Structure 1
């Protein structure tokens, strides 16, 4: 179905576009005129044997794709909709070892093991330590700001997700910046500021894998009372192999670090550009705030699936082997689901956003942990830095094809 109002060559995975903005006006056009629209992907397609993908923009359709894994595979072409143009097909296929890119039954087996670390009890057990860490992070930012403004991303937003991962899996806190560096290199291949080559990103992934596999081997030799031991100490009892644990940590470095960091960064920017909401938050601390921050930020713009057989979606015939892009950023602004979706409203309830995925087998395991982190850091900010304000020209966005990333946000305080 044509959508003639779109700019020539429009592709919502274009990193040049996403470095500038999330294309909400174009998403609105697509939802109204061509909610399942064929996009001839003209750039960054090395490794795929097709000429484009179906862009899915309505909330209901994104949720349908997410909840029908028998029709839409995560493993055939992986979940990442657009890779660096220099990637080779075998490098894409190797990423099927990551849980994000698995299908049942292997995905079911690995997820059942991994979710031991994300039970309500396990997450609640982290809360006291993470509350103290959130307060210390904000106190450190306050001290650092004595000489002027500071970068909210590196001083505040990146710290709690890193420390939460370290707390969760027993990484020494002094090693958390190594995870920060490795994860940045793995996802920043489209941003020339970081000058990260495909080879450097691959090397970072291998170093992180090696680090995690060494942790796994150590716990097998010397079990401890921690989540790593629960996941790896007895493979014959349904635990992870060292390789599988390594790929789980690699996934955490992105899914548990980059996404929560960007939600916090976007949330702070939203508060400071909607001062009435910041005042409301400081007064009332509504429990609904974190979910609205995630809806507003939608750190993952899109993931993809691949049709396993001929089917139909949104009035369009999808052929077996076609790639299907789920645009969460569009779904989370669908007026059929959200009243006044362009309004940042921390009291929004209900809030059935798809910021943690659209349900189904790949729904984010770390949702409760991410919501806790967001709540804790903004409570600490409201207590210690209530007079925060923007400094400079606003956020500098990451050049990426599927992440809604902020790499710098200068702030100061009264």
Structure 2
């Protein structure tokens, strides 16, 4: 079988290459993948978890966590972001940021999220684009709430996120450099936000992060700017694409939509099954820190190692009938939020809460929701994204 797991045009037209993933899991689970540079493609669940949980063996810091190869100057700046750090520096940074994502803080948002969903659904009638009218606004409203930013800023956040994540998609950026330009605009926005909070502290995550913790430590300017960047992208893209991809899955599996409409409380398990099935983040990159063996293959120090969550989440050794979309699936040990370890998704509880409330309200309030046109996919091998999903709401 011809293997190409990073062809962006394939993702844009047909979605993730699940037939290639299945062949690799069965025949070559740690596979040398040609490229510039070549890399080890890791496709089985247990191996993905192993890589994720051993930052000492597989570094996010040496060559970053993103698939693309960057110039040294860009790498130096990106290393300040938590996503691209290893313990112990990552541990210090994450402990500072965790203050804004306690279970109490997240759980207190449930009714507010329900109000946002109801407000969005109240405005949706006739034929609409589910992505821009429902899936994207929900996490953007929540991010504005977390940042203490005006709701009117959500359009700016939406545009910045699209340009950064969609830098290789001509619908979002006609020049890949626009992604870097958007990042600079986010840094400026974060600086303004920090200045306002220092002058007028409020009860929001920004104020908490700018204040010293119990050890007197705080985020410096670059660290804070990069956190806001990460929140705008990760806090938006995961929920947005899980929601739109989940809605598409429910259209493709109408029996599961009927189950949800009959029992909206299934939204709790449906949220996890949607994340497993969609796997909004397709891959992350690591760099081997030493000569070692993974899946029977000799990995050399400095080799590029890429884990594929979309493949791991359909591993039959972990998930019975993995090609069946089952909104009642339990247990469901998916790794759609990462394979554990230092980089397990900070906002996983928030994302699941947003998805649960959204699909519960959709089932209760819009039981006759119907797809009215083909979905349009993002040209990206990083994010399994849906750009447009036409629906009719009656």
TM-score, normalized by length of structure 2? 0.96
Shift of 1:383: 2.1
Q: Secondary structure at the match of 2:171?
A: helix
Preserved CA contact (<8 Å) 2:191 2:221: yes
Shift of 1:150: 1.2
Say which of 6, 22, 25 aligns to 1:13: 6
Q: Counterpart in 1 of 2:46?
A: 60
Q: Secondary structure at the match of 1:357?
A: coil
Matched residues in 2 for 1:234 and 1:221: separation?
A: 16
Matched residues in 2 for 1:176 and 1:193: separation?
A: 19
Say which of 22, 26, 43 aligns to 2:20: 26
**Alignment deviations for residues 66-103 of structure 1 (CA, whole Å, 9 cap, x no partner):** 000100000111111135xxx53422342112111111
Preserved CA contact (<8 Å) 2:7 2:381: yes
* Residue 30 of structure 2 corresponds to residue 36 of structure 1: yes
Matched residues in 2 for 1:334 and 1:82: separation?
A: 26
Q: Counterpart in 2 of 1:99?
A: 82
Preserved CA contact (<8 Å) 2:124 2:393: no
* Residue 55 of structure 2 corresponds to residue 69 of structure 1: yes
Where do 4+ consecutive residues of structure 1 move more than 6 Å? none
Matched residues in 1 for 2:223 and 2:205: separation?
A: 14
Preserved CA contact (<8 Å) 1:230 1:239: no
Matched residues in 2 for 1:161 and 1:213: separation?
A: 22
Q: Secondary structure at the match of 2:329?
A: coil
* Residue 332 of structure 2 corresponds to residue 346 of structure 1: no
Say which of 257, 281, 291 aligns to 1:310: 291
Q: Counterpart in 2 of 1:280?
A: 259
* Residue 271 of structure 2 corresponds to residue 290 of structure 1: yes
Q: Secondary structure at the match of 2:40?
A: strand
Say which of 218, 243, 252 aligns to 1:264: 243
Q: Counterpart in 1 of 2:94?
A: 111
Say which of 355, 375, 383 aligns to 1:403: 383
Preserved CA contact (<8 Å) 1:213 1:243: no
Shift of 1:217: 2.1
Matched residues in 1 for 2:56 and 2:9: separation?
A: 34
Q: Summarize the alignment of residues 168-247 of structure 1 with structure 2, pairs less than 5 Å apart.
A: 168-234=146-212, 237-247=216-226
Preserved CA contact (<8 Å) 1:223 1:233: no
Matched residues in 2 for 1:326 and 1:158: separation?
A: 26
Matched residues in 2 for 1:264 and 1:378: separation?
A: 8
Preserved CA contact (<8 Å) 2:163 2:173: no
Q: Counterpart in 2 of 1:3?
A: none
Preserved CA contact (<8 Å) 2:281 2:336: yes
Matched residues in 1 for 2:270 and 2:308: separation?
A: 23
Preserved CA contact (<8 Å) 1:66 1:360: yes
Equivalent pairs counted in the alignment come to: 390
TM-score, normalized by length of structure 1? 0.92
Matched residues in 2 for 1:164 and 1:363: separation?
A: 20
Moved more, 373-382 or 153-162: 373-382
Aligned-pair Cα RMSD in Å:
1.4
**Alignment deviations for residues 100-138 of structure 1 (CA, whole Å, 9 cap, x no partner):** 111122211110011111110010121111110111011
Shift of 1:239: 1.9
Matched residues in 1 for 2:146 and 2:77: separation?
A: 26
